[in-house]
Amino acid sequence: MNFSGKNVLITGGSRGIGRAIALAFAGRGARVALNFHRDQAAAMATLNELGNSAEHLALKADLADPEATRRMVELVVREFGRIDILVNNAGIYRAHPLPETSYEEWLDAWRQTLDTNLVGAANLCYLVGRHMIEQRSGRIVNITSRGAFRGEPDHPAYGASKAGLNALSQSLARALGPFGIGVNALAPGFVETDMTAGLLAGKSGEAIRAQSPLNRVAQPEEVAAAVLFLASAEAGFTTGAILDLNGASYLRS
């Protein structure tokens, strides 16, 4: 797959899955704008890894802030001229099990999670989608989760936000298809990143790996490869799809 001449906006692009996606697109000729929220050092390290970093952008924005999101998209369009691919990867995963959480903590967890994972992604789909309508082309890939299907008892807002993002992806696939825009969702299971390394190395690591008959978890590069396919010309007739990438750790009908 060749992405030469394509411009890509990736949220949560400084570490883990987002970093792998950014490297994969840049390695195939794309110009990358990677968004980050707090970790500027990690974002700049990833930017430098992309090669010819003057061609790429690292942009700080809190996606729970609609105005910050709007300014970020306007800056990318101004610098790049167009956005061909949007990858909504940013998300938060905050524990708030109902039996052990106060009402105030419950409300705060839902507000923070939905504002970033669902409303923030929806706002980006709107802003970039309107831009893509003018171009009469584009690809949107929303990173969701197997948690949207299997349930997240300790992280219910996360599961609900990802289920909402699946539904949003399918709704937008119908709405934007007439304009030549494809919209898909990718639902990974557990992925090995720097943020999960400690958990995988601990007592729970064996049980987590055993959830899959492959007895392992996904690598970020495997998620990136699936994103590249969904964003590619080869997937031109693939829109409105939700692609599972969980090593058969959860099977849905």
| Among candidate residues 223, 212, 220, 217, the one with its CA nearest the CA of residue 201 | 217
Q: Is 158 a catalytic residue?
A: yes
Beta bridge partners of 215: none
Host H or E run for residue 59: strand 57-60
Report d(CA 25, CA 40) in Å as an integer: 20
Q: Are 142 and 10 in contact (CB under 8 A)?
A: no
Residue 215 DSSP code: S
Report d(CA 151, CA 155) in Å as an integer: 9
Given 93, 126, 158, 250, which residue is catalytic?
158
Q: Are 161 and 92 in contact (CB under 8 A)?
A: no
Instruction: State both tokens at 232.
Output: 């590619």
Instruction: State both tokens at 249.
Output: 């750790």
Q: Are 193 and 19 in contact (CB under 8 A)?
A: no
Catalytic residue positions, numbered: 158
